[in-house]
Chains A and B, each alone.
Chain A
Amino acid sequence: MRKNTLALASLFVLVGCGSTLPPKELVDARAAYQSASKGPAAQQSPAELVIAKQSLDQAERLFNDDGDSPQTKDFAYIAIRKAQLADATARAALAVKEKEAAEREAQNLTADQLARARSELSSAKSSLEKTQDQLAREKAAREEAEKRAAQAMADLQKIASVKQESRGMVITLSGSVLFPTNESTLLPGAIVKLNDVAEALTKGNPDANITIEGHTDSQGQRDHNMQLSQKRAESVKDQLVARGVAADRIKTVGIGPDRPIADNKTAEGRANNRRVEIIVHPTK
């Protein structure tokens, strides 16, 4: 009888006290808080984490007082949400910080690029100004050269026949004006004329290459005419060099009777063929 009473009393105590196992919601709430407290919430959302802990503590108190009651489950459910809220708040805060860092980086990069572009623009502008100056100087030099060439041409035309041909500017001097018959020594009057030619050449085309061609008529021995025309070309060269034309720019050629410009059958024609041509080649 006593044993039965004792067993019944024990059973009653157990039933009366209720189950000691926490409900699933409370177990989940504890795990959710543990997870949140170990994550970014501790740094990024500490206030929300405190609220989550308070919510969990309230659910624990209810469980201690009421056991596995519907109210315990309700507050455990709320505690889970509070822990999840702390976590989500932390992640949102981190995302905002990432966005701000990226915006700052973009701003800095843009500022750097702008500074570089400005520097490059300034350099390009400076280069352009230099090029423009150079172009202006070159244009002025060209115009000056053209002016000198035109003046030289005008000067030459006063003392000789001057023509513009494909091979260059051709200054033709009559053989009878320059040399005695059958000789290659310059007449005194020829020296004066050649001095004028030299002055025109040094002023107008100082850098031009020059070919001096000696020509004869067809009378007499061909060999003799070839030699005479070569010597006459060299005499003219010597006089031009003496008056300042650069020797290394002058070439002499004896053409002899091979390139007549008039009919050798007439005296006038033969006189025209006896000539020296000074060809000023165009500068490249």
Chain B
Amino acid sequence: MAPRDFHAFVLGRVWYAAAVKTSAPLSFVAFALLLTACGSSLPPPSDRLSSAEAAARSARELGADKEPEAKKYLLFATQQIDSAKKLMAEGDNRRADLVLQRANADAELSVMLAKENNAKHEAAIAQEKVKAVKSGK
């Protein structure tokens, strides 16, 4: 059974037990409280946050700001990092973790687009040098 399915199974059993043992309104309140408790019991995704921030920093150092596509995904990454920090401050670590996974993907893409731009620039310089040598300069 997948972890998420097991989670739902447990919640279902708890609710059933609460519904059978107590009155209906009270069982719903208990269930809601249980749900909230399970969401905030996840630890803060600090490692994922550090990873996303490091990737964004790498993208900037590689010159992502100079290439439009790289800059776009760097912006997505930084916006999502900021959203994740707010979610972590509110205690919604589960949602923050998902947002940070998106931020990491955006930052990694920004890094590679910046590397691609640099590699193309260096290739162009090397080809210009070939032309210069051929023309005898």
User: Known contacts A74-B101, A78-B102, A81-B105: does B123 contact A99 (CB below 8 Å)?
Assistant: yes
State in angstroms the CA–CA spacing of A136 and B77 once bound together: 82
State in angstroms the CA–CA spacing of A88 and B108 once bound together: 10
How many residues on chain A are close to B (CB under 8 Å)? 25
Interface string of A83-95 (1 = CB under 8 A from B): 0110011011001
User: Known contacts A81-B109, A109-B134: does B115 contact A98 (CB below 8 Å)?
Assistant: no
Q: Does A164 contact B (CB under 8 A)?
A: no
User: Can you name the residue of chain B whose Cβ is closest to the Cβ of A110?
Assistant: B133
State in angstroms the CA–CA spacing of A266 and B4 once bound together: 152
A-B contact count (CB 8 A): 72
CB-CB contacts below 8 Å: B1-17 with A: 2, 4-5
B contact patch SS: helix
Q: Does A113 contact B (CB under 8 A)?
A: yes
CB-CB contacts below 8 Å: A234-263 with B: none
Partner of B109, one of A85, A103, A109: A85
Asked if A92 and B134 make an inter-chain contact with CB atoms under 8 angstroms apart, the answer reads no
User: Known contacts A74-B102, A78-B105, A81-B109: does B116 contact A88 (CB below 8 Å)?
Assistant: yes
Query: Which of A88, A91, A105, A113 gathers most chain B CB within 10 Å?
Result: A88
Q: Does B89 contact A (CB under 8 A)?
A: no
Which B residues touch A113, using CB under 8 A? 133, 136
State in angstroms the CA–CA spacing of A116 and B97 once bound together: 65
Q: Does B61 contact A (CB under 8 A)?
A: no
Asked if B129 and A102 make an inter-chain contact with CB atoms under 8 angstroms apart, the answer reads yes
Asked if B109 and A95 make an inter-chain contact with CB atoms under 8 angstroms apart, the answer reads no
Asked if A106 and B122 make an inter-chain contact with CB atoms under 8 angstroms apart, the answer reads no
User: Known contacts A78-B102, A99-B119: does B112 contact A89 (CB below 8 Å)?
Assistant: yes
Interface string of B102-137 (1 = CB under 8 A from A): 100110110011011001101101110110011010
CB distance from A87 to the nearest CB of B (A): 9
CB-CB contacts below 8 Å: A60-111 with B: 65, 70-71, 74, 77-78, 81-82, 84-85, 88-89, 91-92, 95-96, 98-99, 102-103, 105-106, 109-110
User: Known contacts A88-B112, A105-B130: does B122 contact A99 (CB below 8 Å)?
Assistant: yes
CB distance from B121 to the nearest CB of A (A): 9
Which A residues touch B123, using CB under 8 A? 95-96, 98-99, 102
Which A residues touch B120, using CB under 8 A? 91, 95
Asked if A85 and B112 make an inter-chain contact with CB atoms under 8 angstroms apart, the answer reads yes
Which B residues touch A88, using CB under 8 A? 109, 112-113, 115-116
Q: Does B54 contact A (CB under 8 A)?
A: no
User: Can you name the residue of chain B whose Cβ is closest to the Cβ of A88?
Assistant: B112
Asked if A102 and B126 make an inter-chain contact with CB atoms under 8 angstroms apart, the answer reads yes
Asked if A96 and B112 make an inter-chain contact with CB atoms under 8 angstroms apart, the answer reads no
Partner of B116, one of A81, A91, A102, A106: A91
Which A residues touch B119, using CB under 8 A? 92, 95-96, 99
A-B contact pairs, 8 of them (CB 8 A): A71-B98, A74-B101, A82-B105, A89-B112, A95-B120, A99-B119, A109-B134, A113-B133
The 7 closest A-B pairs by CB, nearest first: A102-B126, A81-B105, A95-B119, A99-B123, A92-B116, A98-B123, A88-B112
